[in-house]
Structure 1
Amino acid sequence: MLYAKLLKNGVALKGLSLNQICFQLAKRDIWLDRAVLSKMKNGKLPPAKDHINIALAEILGIDSNELRLAAARETIDPKLYELIRCAG
């Protein structure tokens, strides 16, 4: 599943506003602007760094491995991703 779709579904299922999510991230010393989160959720920005994705998954109650893999799939070279996937 695409990264943005996972984020969008997680936000909808959890029922939190983007401000609330950013507040929860700030409690974990992760400072992310609501506008940036919105753009990631709508596929207008690339996925976040790994530590942010782990925190987002915890906050939204979604599978962190699935979110992290979706982020990796969209941010690294497809040939490298396939090599890593096949090696695992």
Structure 2
Amino acid sequence: MMYAKMLKNGIQDADLSLAQICRRLSRKGVILDKAILSKLQNGKLAPARDEINVALADILGIDSKKFRIAAVKETLSGELLQLIKDDLLSDVS
């Protein structure tokens, strides 16, 4: 649940309310309800789609790469992640 922890910490560090974050997301063309944002930060929902994560990382000052990777790790099955890793390693060889 690294994604939720990163999101929660980012929200606390940014010292923004959920409503403020949602308004800033809206200005970026990303619509997200504060109830959904609350569930995301508390780990009650699977990580958001990448478009939302990119915008959240920007607004909250979270490392975008690490945040997006945490989301994917929690979204994809372990088997699929291993296939991707294996494929990346075979491309290097």
CA RMSD of aligned residues (A): 1.2
**Aligned partners of 2:85 and 2:23: how far apart in 1?**
34
**Aligned partners of 2:8 and 2:73: how far apart in 1?**
17
Q: Which runs of 5+ in 1 are unaligned?
A: none
Partner AA of 2:81 in structure 1 = Y
Partner residue in 2 for 1:47: 47
Q: Which runs of 5+ in 2 are unaligned?
A: none
Instruction: Calculate percent identity across the aligned residue pairs.
Output: 53
**TM-score, normalised relative to structure 1:** 0.94
Count of aligned residue pairs for this structure pair: 88
**Aligned partners of 1:2 and 1:85: how far apart in 2?**
19
Give structure 1 regions of 4+ aligned residues with deviation exceeding 3 angstroms.
none
Max radius of gyration: which structure? 2
**Aligned partners of 2:78 and 2:45: how far apart in 1?**
18
**TM-score, normalised relative to structure 2:** 0.89
Query: What are the residue-to-residue correspondences of 1:1-88 with 2, within 5 Å?
Result: 2-86=2-86, 87=88
**Aligned partners of 2:85 and 2:72: how far apart in 1?**
11
